[in-house]
Amino acid sequence: MKFNTKTIHAGITPDPSSGAIMTPIFQTSTYVQDAPGIHKGFAYGRTQNPTRHVLEANLAALENGVEAICFASGLAALDAILKTLHPGDEVITTNDLYGGSYRLMMRIFSNYNINFQFIGMDNVEKIQSFITDKTKMIWIETPTNPMLNIIDIQGVCNQVKGSNIKVCVDNTFASPYLQSPLDLGADIVMHSATKYLGGHSDVVHGIVVCKHPEDAEAIRFIQNAAGAVPGPQDCFLVLRGIKTLHIRVQRACENAKKIAEHLLNHPKVSKVYYPGFESHPNHHTAKSQMKDFGGMVSFDLVENSQEAAFMVLSNTHYFSLAESLGGVESLIGHPATMTHASIPKEERLKVGLTDSLIRLSVVLKTNNLSIKQWSEDDRPREKLLQKGKENLSDTELLAILLGSGSRGESAVDLSKRMLGDVDNSLNLLGKSNLTDLMKYKGIGEAKAITIAAALELGRRRQASDIDLTQKFTSSTEIFKVMSPYMSDLQVEEFWILLLNRSNRLIKKELISKGGVSETTVDVKVILKSAIDNLASAIVLLHNHPSGNLKPSTADLNITKKINEACKMMDVRLLDHIIIAEKKYFSFLDEGLINL
């Protein structure tokens, strides 16, 4: 039976009780028995489950093994394999290893006197110098995660042929479609079925497939005894994913090649790791033991820093920043802080896992477009770094605050739309409250707070640049001082400026705050402040959030009332200024104050 046919038919038959073509989900913990020990092959859910049984038969066929054993995760599968070892045993494994595997080996099993040697396996002959009489297992990842190093499976097996050393291969990155380790001489194959086998980012699962019955028996015992079994729903989802495995992986290979070739010529990329390049270490081994070169690509940036990597990670359109791989969505990740964070920095740097290394999982869609969009020289963050903040438009600066847009709309496009809605006025945008900002798709509370805070900082910076000791000689000078405080307000505020005999500022003071159309002003409060601060003159100011500069009847009346009170206290009322957005109205200039 050919591989593509196996994915759909191997180990799978219509349900005998109903004829259902899809294997049912047997959601049960136990099974009724006719008598003690007399049952239909299933006694308890941890030990057996019909859905799991079908999946295990299918997986054994895909990897050409005698038996497959399913687990709740890929690490649970690795855990079961390592539990076949005994204190004092040694394992030789690659120094370019998935961070979770490294953590399990070094933080858990090393505590039980099981020793691990991490070595480069680019030349399999080097393995011989590390083998001792205590060596019981060689653990291989190929392609490795995330450097995509290729290890000659058959070559490793030949190095230990005739010994009691087991060769185990993590085949997650290749999948059974591309690579068959058991056919190349390996004893055990492991998968994180969460990845390509499940293929839809909706299940966590692991499998072990054995070449020899005695290994299968030992792993099966651990499965039942330790109990790290998957649920029937998980098994059903993996069965569903396997039916399209060959189609998905082949498309991933085709698209990964396009992405890798594009990155290879990119001016901001220093190195690309992809087994399909003839320059890639052990490319010819990959060509001989794999059907194609896989859907994974890793690359380093010319600017080798975590900050540069994070800029790329936060500004992709069609790659989603997430852990894992092998789903129908294309994913981007930063191994140093994500999948391999548990590996000490000095160890990961030895194998080339730098701070700027980025890993791509390329799957169904053709992603050239997203990479090209990411790499345009005029992307806001890159443009700021290269040309300085003063060369960015308001749209680009706002896009940086947004960080990302929503599906179908980039941060730049969202910024254009937001500014367009306020006639491209930052002044009007500054009046937006959090609720207004959160009406835009892609802006949640956190982004809305960021935008509001940035606009408020801009307003305060403008205000802080004013020389408050200057002498006021005109309404224009007063407006320039107070406009940063009052132009963008959403409610009406009433302020006074207290001046000395030279018309220099003693103090500015907020008297009252009201609604969108008026505020209450107490004449006694104004006069008391003037007397307490020994002011010789005052200026009244209030804003009109409506944008209408024309003074209301109430404005005229309160001005007259305050002016009369000031004369009684020998305090001069110099002016009353109304501010609306970036304009003002002066009572003095319009002849409405009798000095």
Residues annotated as catalytic (active site), given as ranges = 46, 98, 170, 195
- Residue 273 amino acid letter: Y
DSSP 510: E
Instruction: Write down the residue that tokens 């000031």 correspond to.
Output: 566
Q: How far is 252 from 255, CA to CA, in rounded Å?
A: 5
The closest alpha carbon to 71, from 83, 87, 88, 61, belongs to 83
* CA separation for the pair 339, 381 (Å, rounded): 26
Cβ-based neighbour number of residue 427 at 10 Å: 15
Task: Give the Cα separation of 145 and 173 in Å (integer).
Answer: 8
**Assigned token pair, 217:** 């028996």
Look at the chain and count its residues: 595
For the chain, the farthest-separated pair of C-alpha atoms sits apart, in whole angstroms, at 113
User: In this structure, are residues 517 and 554 in contact, taking their beta carbons and an 8 Å threshold?
Assistant: no
> DSSP letter string over 456-470?
HHHHHHHHHTS-TTP
Are the C-beta atoms of residues 150 and 128 closer than 8 Å to each other?
Answer: no
**Rg over CA atoms, the chain:** 36
Q: How far apart are CA 483 and CA 582, in angstroms?
A: 7
506/500 Cα distance (integer angstroms) = 6
CB atoms within 10 A of CB 441: 13
CA gap 29, 31 in Å, rounded = 7
For residues 261 and 250, what is the distance between their CA atoms, to the nearest angstrom?
A: 17
- Cα gap 517→18, rounded to integer Å: 73
Of the candidates 565, 573, 564, the one whose C-alpha atom is nearest the C-alpha of residue 535 is: 573
Q: How many helices (H) and strands (E) does the chain have?
A: 22, 17
